Structure formats: structure tokens, C-alpha cells
Amino acid sequence: MIDFRLPEELETLRKTVEEFAAAEVAPVIGEIYQREEFPYQLVAKMGRMGLFGLPFPEEHGGMGGDFFALALVLEELARVDSSVAIAVSAGVSLGALPIHKFGTPEQKRRWLPALCAGEALAGFGLTEPGGGTDAGATRTTAVRDGDEWVINGSKCFITNSGTDITALVTVTAVTGVGPDGRKEISAIIVPSGTPGFSVAPSYSKVGWCASDTHELSFSDCRVPVSHLLGAEGRGFAQFLSVLDESRIALAAVGTGLAQGCVDECVRYAREREAFGRPLADHQAIAFKIADMEARAHTARLAWYHAASRLVAGEPFKREAAIAKLVSSNAAMDNAREATQIFGGYGFMNDYPVARFYRDAKILEIGEGTSEVQRMLISRDLLTP
């Protein structure tokens, strides 16, 4: 029979992060979120815990774990706050993972130790203002000039791209045209502070207000040819493979948010009274909470399955898309119900459920919209 219980080492990790989130994140994140600040002190603490290095080998400063362990951590963090969770998720699965998967030995030696320690962050420059979901419509260009790439273009909605500890952004750029007339897109590492690389002021966002997100521009930005990441012309394919793994990470974040809504509502329903009885005694409320728990449980099983296939080296694209779709639906539905259960208090930013409500929507958009996930699932099922 299949055993869904976590092995002892993973349960210990889960419990450690659960306790960290309750003791260190919960007391301070509300004010940080309201001020729309990046949680530098929390990131430093998580770095010292080894969370940014979980799925990377020890030779590069990692913890020697796997992607399942990372996703487990993300769920526990997101039960308390998604901004903190996404700082880790993007820092690992979008920032460091491309270098780990496709980097040269020298690129790994240069960048991975600080990224694994949480002392530096990296961004993932794929989305463009005119492209959105159609990431293949890349307009940013990189032209070879001697021993340098000259980059021109812009990127938008890039997480962890403008913090004080952002070390680099890996960007996709058109580097040529293939025999079939299609664009050849490559991935290139651009260190922070490179002349011609500009970071716009942080976006004013509906949610993830303690997360760092910027538009980036490149104007005759020059980097060495050695900053090419992976094979020339394979950058888009590389980033698609990274997104498959990253969707599991975001599914874990969505599951955490959905479970956090349950946690808050269980606590509130036991304490709050209406018509002379605790809310928990009213069947309308109890049934809402039961449905919320069912959604969170289902989302967890979905990402567990996808992550297990990834770790086992089995195909997981469809399962990752299912996990992303199911978990984002669960997060949105649970956030709406939690706000309803809290009533007027749910509309006040002093309460976590208000933050959850604001944070949930982006989960249906980021790293592939829900429509894209349905496209991936149906394509996998229906293509001979």
C-alpha cells in the first residue's frame, strides 16, 4: 500500500519550519507587509537555516536535499505568509535552479554558494511587457560583439530582481534566427550593477506586498560571452523545464495558503460567538470549514504526487500542471470563504485572512495561468 506519511527526516524539517513560521514570521510579517518592505531579516534567518540551499548538492553550499523537501518548506511558510514563501520559492526554483541545471562548473562555483546560503538572490527574467503568457514572443535581443553580448530590451514582473542582495538576473533574449525562421532564444546571466541594466521602482501590488517585484530594462548592456547559460538557442526550452519544477513549488505555496485559511478559521470559529454560541456550533460555518479542509488536503496530495515523480526521475509535467491548477483554485476558494467567515474583520488588513485574500489571486496567474495549466493537461492527454 502507498504510505503518505512523511519520513522522519522530512517530518522533522516540516515541524522545524512550522515552528519558525509561527515564532519568527507571524509576529512581524503583518507590519512588514503593510509597509511593503522586503523581509531582509527573515530571509537572513532562513538562509542560516539552509532553506535556500535545500535541493542543491553540498559541494556548492547546498543541503543535499531534493525538491520535495523544498516544497514541504514552502507550504509551511505560506501557511503564515506567502510573501516570505515566494522569496524562497523564486530564489531557489527560479533564481538558483537554472544555474544548477544548466550552468558551467565556473558559473556554479561563482554564483551557487551565496545563493544557497541566502546571502544573495537571483531573478528569472522571462516575462516581457508585450508578451505576458506568450513568453515565446521575446523581443529582448542579445547581439554578439567580440567577446561580449550586447543586450537590449525589457522584462516585467520579475521577482527578487531589485533587492539589496540581488546578485544577478538570468534573462532570455533572441540571439539569432533558425533555419526554419523561428527565433533562437538564449539565456544570459546579467550581474546586478552591470552598466545598461536598470531596475525600475517596485510595483504597487494587490498582494505579495512584502515580495520584491520590478520591471527591468537593458540598454546596450554588455556582459561577457561566458555569461551564456546553457547552450545558445536553447534558453527558452531551458526555462520551460525550470517552470515545470517551479509550478510544483508554487502549488505548495497555494496549498499552504489554503491550509492557513483553515487554521485561522478553526481558531476564530472556536473563539467567536454569534447568537449565544461559538461560530463552530453553527453548521453553516462548520460545513464551510470542512470544505476548506478538503480543498487543502486535495491540493497537498496533488503536489505530493508531482514532487514524488520529479524526485523519482519520472515524467511530471502533467502532474505539475494539475497541482498548480488544483492548489490555486483551493487558495482562491478558501481565501474567499475565510474572509466570509471572519465577516467585517476579514476585510481588515490587521487580520491574516485579509492578507491571504489579497495574495491568493496571483496564484492563478503567475508561472502559467490556470488556462495555461488546462492547456498543458489537455495537450498531454489528447496528443497521440
- Residues marked active site are found at 367
DSSP-assigned beta bridge partners for residue 303: none
pLDDT at site 273: 82
Domain made up of 237-382: CATH architecture = Up-down Bundle (1.20)
Per-residue pLDDT of 184-232, as tens digits, reads 999 999 999 999 999 999 999 999 999 999 999 999 999 999 999 999 9
Which pLDDT does position 178 carry in this prediction? 84
Tell me the three cell numbers of residue 64: 543535499
Cα angle, residue 68 at apex, residues 65 and 71 outer, rounded to 5°: 110
Euclidean distance between CA atoms 127 and 116, whole angstroms? 24
Q: Which residues of the chain have pLDDT under 70?
A: 132-133, 135-136
CA distances from 337 to 107, 151, 265, 273, 279 (A): 47, 47, 9, 18, 14
DSSP letter string, 58-95: GGGT--S--HHHHHHHHHHHHTT-HHHHHHHHIIIIII
So what's the architecture of 123-233 in CATH? Beta Barrel (2.40)
> At which residue does the C-alpha cell 537572513 appear?
44
Same fold, 8-121 and 237-382: no
Please, what's the largest Cα pairwise distance for the chain?
79
Return the C-alpha cell found at 268.
Answer: 476564530
Give 8-48 pLDDT, tens digit per residue.
Answer: 999 999 999 999 999 999 999 999 999 999 999 999 999 99
3-state helix, strand, coil in the chain (%, to 5): 55, 15, 25
* CA–CA distance, 49 with 46 (Å, rounded to integer): 5
User: Which 3 state secondary structure label does DSSP give 36?
Assistant: coil
At 258 the three-state DSSP class reads: helix
Residue ranges covered by each domain of the chain: 8-121, 123-233, 237-382
Q: Among the CATH numbers 2.40.30.10, 3.30.9.60, 1.10.540.10, 3.10.20.600, which is that of 8-121?
A: 1.10.540.10
Given this model, what pLDDT does residue 144 score?
A: 96
